[in-house]
Amino acid sequence: TPATPATVRIGYLLGDLHQLPFFVAQDKGFFKDEGINVQVAGPFDAGPAEMDALAANQLDMGYVGIAPSVLAAARKIDLSIISGVNLEGSALATEIGINSVADLKSKKVATPAPGSIQYVMLGMLLSQNSLSFSDLDLFPGTIKPPDMPQSLQTGRISGYFVWEPFVAKSVVGGYGKALVESKEIWPGHPCCVVVTRNDFALKNDNTVAAVIRAHRKAVQFITDNPADAKTIAQKWTRLDAAIIDNAFTRVKYTYALSKDDVKRFAREIISLGESGTIKPIITAGDVPDLDAFVDKVVDLQYIQR
Amino acid sequence: MSQAKLSIEHISKSFTEKKGGKVTHALLDFNLEVAAGEFVTIVGPSGCGKTTLLKIVAGLEIASEGAVYLDDHRVTVPGPERGLVFQDFALFPWRDVTGNIVFGPELLKVPAVERVKIAEHYIRLVGLSGNERKYPAELSGGMKQRVAIARALANNPEVLLMDEPFGSLDAQTRSQMQKELLYIWQENRKAVLFVTHSVEEAVYLSNRIVVLSESPGTIKQIYSIDLSYPRSRSDHGFISLREKITGCISENCR
Amino acid sequence: MSQAKLSIEHISKSFTEKKGGKVTHALLDFNLEVAAGEFVTIVGPSGCGKTTLLKIVAGLEIASEGAVYLDDHRVTVPGPERGLVFQDFALFPWRDVTGNIVFGPELLKVPAVERVKIAEHYIRLVGLSGNERKYPAELSGGMKQRVAIARALANNPEVLLMDEPFGSLDAQTRSQMQKELLYIWQENRKAVLFVTHSVEEAVYLSNRIVVLSESPGTIKQIYSIDLSYPRSRSDHGFISLREKITGCISENCR
Amino acid sequence: MLFLLAWEIAALLANLPQLFPTPVDVLSALYALLIAPGPAGLPWAGELWGNTLISLWRVLVGFAIAAVSGILLGVAIGWWRNARDLLEPIIELLRPIPPLAWIPLAMLWFGLGFTPAVFLIWLGAFFPILLNTVLGMESTPKKLVEVAKTLGASSGQILFKVCVPFAAPSIMAGLRIGIGIGWMCLVAAELTGSNSGLGYMIMYYYSTMEAAKTVAGMLMIGIVGFLMFTALKKMEDNLLFWRVQS
Amino acid sequence: MLFLLAWEIAALLANLPQLFPTPVDVLSALYALLIAPGPAGLPWAGELWGNTLISLWRVLVGFAIAAVSGILLGVAIGWWRNARDLLEPIIELLRPIPPLAWIPLAMLWFGLGFTPAVFLIWLGAFFPILLNTVLGMESTPKKLVEVAKTLGASSGQILFKVCVPFAAPSIMAGLRIGIGIGWMCLVAAELTGSNSGLGYMIMYYYSTMEAAKTVAGMLMIGIVGFLMFTALKKMEDNLLFWRVQS
Ligand SMILES: Nc1ncnc2c1ncn2[C@@H]1O[C@H](COP(=O)(O)OP(=O)(O)OP(=O)(O)O)[C@@H](O)[C@H]1O
Ligand SMILES: Nc1ncnc2c1ncn2[C@@H]1O[C@H](COP(=O)(O)OP(=O)(O)OP(=O)(O)O)[C@@H](O)[C@H]1O
Ligand SMILES: [Mg+2]
Ligand SMILES: [Mg+2]
């Protein structure tokens, strides 16, 4: 442990239950224990903004979705994905009357911003059902997740694919149901991750390792003390206990990270674009050699130290 | 009540300075009756309250005390039966000469064809033919004043209130305008309340001349002019009256 | 070149109507020299180009043709050595009487103490004592005009350009102001270019009188007045000159 | 030109294509957007034109409503003390509330897409138009109102024949500010459940981190805004030719 | 009062507490926010006051810069044809670009937190102030400029002793529009990595779906905006007392 605490600027997303390990690590003082002085930067309301901040050298590390981090890397932002945060935890919520994905044809469906993991997974789901986005009346990104449950309740939309707790909200409210959970589409799919700017990691190797140690401790804490974790979650997100309980059944917290998952995500997004299921976001042209790309972007050394 | 067309009873008016806070008494217990068809002129030193008086009669200022009656009805708001020619013209900058003159008829919804005729008539009357399409910013001082006169006349009011209407005109235009005004007045038997600094003009035009004292304006003397129209400026009676009134304004009245 | 203080050479000026598009020739080949210490008055019918001429001399309008020289230097822009009293006063509405009068000295960074003295002096001169803190909206027409005069005088220009400066004043104030003006002129030997509609005033004040013809303004006649100052209005020479010039304006010149 | 060059150099120096793309990148993005198929409503128009047309229509409708309501209410407030006393506090309370904060209510009241977007644009454009109308009304010289009164003008006539013409320059300036802010609100407006329009397009490419296309969309907003401004300015110069230039 | 009652009834009828909370909910949320501990910078002030103070400070700084720069540039544009020809196209191109679109660049240039927030507020307030200053400058009567010239005023003196005083009412109206829009941009401004301020608080409770607290925050924005407006109005009435009322 270094004598003087090293300051790290860490970003996170506003009110995102997936990033609970970050809240726990702060709340429990795990960062301090590691000699890290966390300068909370943010919160950000969306991943791309957080990635911009990272690119602009306003952040050193960040809790963010896998999708923005892969997109950012594909756009030549010099970062590494160094730890997992959680798996799964999203779902397709629909009106009670919708019984299959095919029922959504021509219906209004909302997702978070294009390129998000939820957006990509809805694409995968449609593709599995031989549908594409052009079969839906899709609203990507222009209905904010907090507005989705109400939009469903008031009948403005028939379904939405989003992260927790916004699925739980409709389910608990009784006007919606989780038609398909994300783990049914891609079991154990990655969701949030920790990223770092490469030039920062290069100069502060030990500091980054210490941050990840604290992060791992936090994940472990959640697994070991779900009740305490829920209390911390409530404190940081101020959500109802019922909603958190419901959400906890779908979110899996883990620091584990696999290169294959990252590769699969990148491959899915490319092939969905190629098959015309979604509008191309990353093309093979952007990432000519997928293996080399993943090797460069995913850095597993910190979760192993 | 009186039989007068216009009766001004016990009018006083004072103003308080916005910044200095000093109170100015512009008029003090002013009384005057103007009969139907009478031409009354007010003369008096600068700042004695002439404009204030006309504005009160027009209904644009509210007297601190007293009241104004038109045909025995008290007036408190402006109306088209009392036409005012403003000392500083106050033309509408976004309307050309014609547009300014037909403003009143337009308000009364006079049909367009007729408005054109009215405009032509009064433009000729005030000698502005050829300038119909000029905007106020393009007019000389005297031209603006004539537009203001034409605008008031075009509305054909029962009572004409004129505040130094010929002040910016050259002698020739001025005497022409005086003649036109007398003609209009005699044809229509309007009541006219006229303000001027020219005693000669006052004597040439009026039935009665009211001389005001310096601020606060009170009546110093009223002269009746019994000379018959049209009057000659070189007439002996004319000249002696003119001298008498000029003396009254500056010193003592006989 | 000439020895004149001010020389106006071959000035022509025409305006094009904004909307009508008609061209007005306001001045045509106008020539005049004003010697140092000379008092020259311009008279002529309304709209003949008098104001336009003063504005060109002041540097506010650009002549279509010709040039103006001051002490043999061509002038094209305004300057404080040529002071103009505007026909329509143009006071600054956000400044009180004092504030308007000291505007010029303020520009020249005259110290505040001295400005106060200047203001007091000119306010007394134009008879506005007691009205120092009134704003333009609180002044009568004649008072505004006097503020405008005081403002121009307070700047002590070499050449005074005055556009009907006494038009809104009563006879008494007017004759007082005329005397003050003559006094200032004689004391400081300023060159004065004066516009008026009163031939009497012109004869009372000037060394020379220029009569303009109707639009476009060209010189109809120039009269030299050799009467000695102070002049008497009832003097025979005065009256005959007045009549001659009055005749010249309206008809033919002798 | 100079400006473009400076941009290119600055962008190259910054070397952060994600945050600060070069003009060359942006131009090629513009081209790509021109040839891509347009949004659902107008696929024939190409992505850029199609979305621009859709946004333009929304902004014009929102702006038109803002112009009418802002001028009418501004005239009422500038005219009747009562209207002022009643409306001013409410307006001044609502005015600073950010468009983003209105999004949920806009969606509740107006559903998705066109109508709530128009509502938000209206919100942005309305207040400047209103305030400048009131300013213009209040600065009408007393003299001109007095003249009109002595010529027998009714209140309505004074309003429409004196105050409104006099206030016209100020109202026009309000319209120019208003249309600018209307455009400025476009991104927020198209967050109310749109899936077309320039604002949507910008959001889309911002999310997929295609910076050059984002900037291309912003540029388009700038250009169209500029053209609208120029058109308004032309109109103004024609309408207010009587104004003396200093 | 009536307004509050209408709101209560409408909200109860709608029965969508998430979107449309009742005034009672909002009041209790206000109370809760008053007693909750304040943001990191000002924990002593309570959450509501603390965030309000922080936002107020940001808006005041942004507004002050906007006022100075808007008036200066407006005066320059209203005065020099060259400045107008040079700056107007650039300004009119930049003006409609939405504040949201500036966020990435703001972050690049100004980092996170205070400075980029001030920048975005400046962006919102700047243009209306600028435009109204130009409007005021342009409507200065030619006559007054001419008088000043014959009294020997230099260009600078004409500017500061004639045009600026004359333009003052219009500039003041611009300031009022500007401060409103500055406040309006607060939410966007505090999206750039802030963790304090009213805009942040609103976004936070929005993301946690605490509608009553969101609305309480909006209300606070409205109230503070209103107070600032009133203060400006008072100042204006004192400064411009010479204006003739019609
Ligand atoms: N709106 C006003 N506010 C304050 N004082 C005013 C106002 N109008 C006039 N006064 C004052 O009232 C007095 C009389 O002014 P008024 O305009 O009636 O004079 P006047 O006789 O028309 O003078 P003139 O011949 O110079 O036009 C003056 O002292 C003037 O300062
Ligand atoms: N800015 C302008 N634009 C267009 N035409 C103008 C302008 N100024 C003056 N004129 C025209 O030029 C002519 C002369 O105007 P000027 O003001 O010089 O007359 P003037 O001799 O001063 O008359 P007055 O005795 O009535 O003041 C008039 O026909 C007028 O319409
Ligand atoms: Mg008067
Ligand atoms: Mg003139």
Q: What is the pLDDT of residues C24-33, one digit of tens each?
A: 888 999 999 9
Over 70: is that where the pLDDT of A13 sits? yes
- DSSP per residue over chain C, as a string? ----SEEEEEEEEEEE-SSS--EEEEEEEEEEEE-TT-EEEEE--TTSSHHHHHHHHHTSS--SEEEEEETTEEE-S--TTEEEE-TT----TTS-HHHHHTHHHHHTT--HHHHHHHHHHHHHHTT-TT-TT--GGGS-HHHHHHHHHHHHHHT--SEEEEESTTTTS-HHHHHHHHHHHHHHHHHHT-EEEEE-S-HHHHHHH-SEEEEEPSSSB-EEEEEE--PPSSP-TT-HHHHHHHHHHHHHHHS---
pLDDT at D246: 30
Cα angle A29, A30, A33 (rounded to 5 degrees) comes to 90
Pocket (CB within 6 angstroms of ligand 1): B 15, 24, 26, 46-52, 87, 215; C 134, 137-143, 168
Length of chain A: 305
Closest C-alpha residue for ligand 2 atom 4: B138
The residue among E230 and D11 whose pLDDT is bigger is: E230
Q: Which of E188, E62, E184 is nearest to E118 (CA)?
A: E62
CA distance C3 to chain B (A): 32
Q: Do B172 and C17 touch (CB under 8 A)?
A: no
Strand partners, C75: C68
Whether residue D3 lies within 8 A of chain C, CB to CB, comes out as no
pLDDT tens, residue by residue, B233-248: 888 989 999 988 988 8
How far is it, in rounded angstroms, from Cα B59 to Cα B64? 13
In this structure, what token pair is assigned to residue A237? Answer: 């997100």
Banded model confidence at residue D228, pLDDT cuts 50, 70, 90: confident
- Residue C128 CA to ligand 1 center (angstroms) comes to 12
Whether residue E154 lies within 8 A of chain C, CB to CB, comes out as yes
Give the domains, in start order, of chain D with CATH numbers: 54-91+98-238 (1.10.3720.10)
Residue type (1 letter), E128: P
Counting atoms of ligand 1 from 1, which one is nearest the CA of B50?
21
Residue type (1 letter), A22: F
pLDDT at D159: 84
How far is it, in rounded angstroms, from Cα B46 to Cα A252? 93
Whether residue E3 lies within 8 A of chain B, CB to CB, comes out as no
Length of chain C: 254
| CB contacts, 8 Å: C90 with chain E | 141, 143-144, 146-147
Residue E3 burial (10 A CB sphere; 0-12, 13-18, 19+)? exposed
Closest C-alpha residue for ligand 2 atom 25: C46
- Residue D103 CA to ligand 2 center (angstroms) comes to 59
Whether residue E245 lies within 8 A of chain B, CB to CB, comes out as no
pLDDT at E16: 64
Counting atoms of ligand 2 from 1, which one is nearest the CA of C45?
25
pLDDT at E13: 67
* Residue B66: strand, helix, or coil: strand
Counting atoms of ligand 1 from 1, which one is nearest the CA of C170?
25
pLDDT at C53: 93
* Residue D14: strand, helix, or coil: helix
Residue E121 CB contacts under 8 Å (≥ 6 apart), including other chains: E58, E59, E61, E62, E63, E66, E182, E185, E186, E189
- Residue D225 CA to ligand 4 center (angstroms) comes to 45
Is residue B14 within 8 Å of B61, Cβ to Cβ?
no
pLDDT tens, residue by residue, E45-65: 678 888 888 888 988 999 999
Residue type (1 letter), D1: M
Residue type (1 letter), E122: W
* Residue A72: strand, helix, or coil: helix
Average pLDDT over residues C172-191: 89
Residue E27 CB contacts under 8 Å (≥ 6 apart), including other chains: none
Q: Which of A76, A75, A79, A74 is nearest to A64 (CA)?
A: A79
Q: Which of D138, D139, D156, D158 is nearest to D148 (CA)?
A: D158
Average pLDDT over residues C29-58: 92
For A52, C53, C201, the CA distances from A82, given in Å and listed in that order, are 18, 85, 99
In this structure, what token pair is assigned to residue A83? Answer: 């730890």
pLDDT tens, residue by residue, E161-220: 888 888 888 888 889 888 888 887 887 788 766 778 888 888 888 777 777 888 888 888
Closest C-alpha residue for ligand 2 atom 7: B138
Strand partners, C221: C211
- Residue B86 CA to ligand 1 center (angstroms) comes to 13
CA C158 distance to own-chain centroid: 13
CA distance D143 to chain C (A): 10
pLDDT at A37: 87
Question: What's this model's pTM, rounded to 2 decimal places?
Answer: 0.82
Over 50: is that where the pLDDT of A290 sits? yes
pLDDT at E15: 64
Exposed e or buried b for every residue in B69-105, given b needs 16+ CB within 10 A? bbeeeebeebbbebbbbbbbbbbbbbbbbbbbbbbbb
pLDDT tens, residue by residue, B46-71: 888 999 999 999 999 999 999 999 99
Which of A216-225, B104-113, B186-195, E228-237 bottoms out in mean pLDDT, i.e. has the lowest?
E228-237
Q: Looking at this predicted complex, what is its ipTM?
A: 0.80
Q: Do chains B and C touch (3 or more CB pairs under 8 A)?
A: yes
| CB contacts, 8 Å: C169 with chain B | 46, 197
pLDDT at C124: 92
Strand order in the sheet with B82-85: B82-85, B159-163, B191-195, B39-43, B208-212, B219-224
Q: Do E19 and A150 touch (CB under 8 A)?
A: yes
How far is it, in rounded angstroms, from Cα A192 to Cα A68? 10
Over 90: is that where the pLDDT of B118 sits? yes
Over 70: is that where the pLDDT of B80 sits? yes
Residue C133 burial (10 A CB sphere; 0-12, 13-18, 19+)? middle
Q: Do C170 and B43 touch (CB under 8 A)?
A: yes
Q: Which of B68, B55, B37, B3 is nearest to B207 (CA)?
A: B37
* Residue A105: strand, helix, or coil: coil
Counting atoms of ligand 1 from 1, which one is nearest the CA of B13?
12
Q: Which of A201, A204, A304, A196 is nearest to A258 (CA)?
A: A304
State the best of C126, C197, C249 to mutate against chain B, taking most chain B CBs within 10 Å. Answer: C197
**Strands annotated E in chain B:** 6-16, 23-34, 39-43, 65-70, 73-75, 82-85, 159-163, 191-195, 208-212, 219-224
pLDDT tens, residue by residue, A167-205: 888 888 889 999 999 889 999 888 889 999 999 988 888
DSSP single-letter state for residue B218: -
Banded model confidence at residue B34, pLDDT cuts 50, 70, 90: very high
Phi-psi region of A78 (alpha: psi -120 to 50; beta: other; left: phi over 0): beta
| CB contacts, 8 Å: D177 with chain E | 127-128, 131-132, 177
Banded model confidence at residue D243, pLDDT cuts 50, 70, 90: low
Q: Do D112 and A143 touch (CB under 8 A)?
A: yes
pLDDT tens, residue by residue, E11-44: 666 666 666 677 777 888 888 777 777 666 666 6
Cα nearest neighbour of B105 on chain D: D151
CA distance E218 to chain D (A): 6
DSSP single-letter state for residue A147: G
Banded model confidence at residue D204, pLDDT cuts 50, 70, 90: confident
pLDDT at C207: 93
pLDDT at C1: 44
Strand partners, B69: B7, B74
Hey, which of C48, C55, C86, C198 would you mutate to test ligand 2's pocket, going by the most ligand atoms within 8 Å of its Cβ?
Answer: C48
Pocket lining: C24 vs ligand 2, CB cutoff 6 Å:
yes
| Nearest beta carbon to residue C138 from set B17, B167, B172 | B17
Q: Which of D176, C141, D175, B150 is nearest to E91 (CA)?
A: D176
Over 70: is that where the pLDDT of E2 sits? no
CA C234 distance to own-chain centroid: 25
What mean pLDDT, rounded, does chain B reach? 89
| CB contacts, 8 Å: C143 with chain B | 46-47
pLDDT tens, residue by residue, C136-152: 888 999 999 999 999 99
Average pLDDT over residues E61-78: 90
Over 50: is that where the pLDDT of A2 sits? no
pLDDT at D144: 87
Cα nearest neighbour of D151 on chain B: B80
What mean pLDDT, rounded, does chain C reach? 89
- Residue B139 CA to ligand 4 center (angstroms) comes to 9
In this structure, what token pair is assigned to residue D176? Answer: 């120019």
* Residue A160: strand, helix, or coil: strand
Banded model confidence at residue D230, pLDDT cuts 50, 70, 90: confident
H helix intervals, chain A: 20-27, 30-33, 47-55, 66-74, 117-128, 148-153, 166-173, 182-185, 198-203, 205-224, 226-237, 241-248, 259-274, 290-297, 301-304
pLDDT at D79: 80
Residue B236 burial (10 A CB sphere; 0-12, 13-18, 19+)? exposed
CA distance D240 to chain E (A): 11
Counting atoms of ligand 1 from 1, which one is nearest the CA of B51?
22
Is residue C47 within 8 Å of B144, Cβ to Cβ?
no
Q: Which of C161, C16, C121 is nearest to E146 (CA)?
A: C161
CA distance E161 to chain C (A): 9
Whether residue D146 lies within 8 A of chain B, CB to CB, comes out as yes
Closest C-alpha residue for ligand 1 atom 10: C138
Banded model confidence at residue C254, pLDDT cuts 50, 70, 90: low
Is residue B84 within 8 Å of D150, Cβ to Cβ?
yes
Residue C25 burial (10 A CB sphere; 0-12, 13-18, 19+)? middle
Pocket lining: B134 vs ligand 2, CB cutoff 6 Å:
yes
pLDDT tens, residue by residue, D54-106: 889 999 999 999 999 999 888 888 888 788 888 887 887 777 777 777 777 78
Over 50: is that where the pLDDT of E246 sits? no
H helix intervals, chain E: 2-14, 23-35, 47-79, 81-94, 99-110, 114-138, 142-150, 155-158, 164-184, 186-189, 198-207, 211-239
| CB contacts, 8 Å: C86 with chain E | 143, 146-147
Is residue A177 within 8 Å of A100, Cβ to Cβ?
no
Whether residue D1 lies within 8 A of chain E, CB to CB, comes out as no
Is residue D151 within 8 Å of B104, Cβ to Cβ?
yes
Over 70: is that where the pLDDT of C154 sits? yes
How far is it, in rounded angstroms, from Cα B189 to Cα B176? 19
pLDDT at D3: 67
How far is it, in rounded angstroms, from Cα E5 to Cα A202? 61
What mean pLDDT, rounded, does chain E reach? 80
Banded model confidence at residue C201, pLDDT cuts 50, 70, 90: very high
pLDDT at E20: 66
In this structure, what token pair is assigned to residue A156? Answer: 């403005």
In this structure, what token pair is assigned to residue B88? Answer: 């500083």
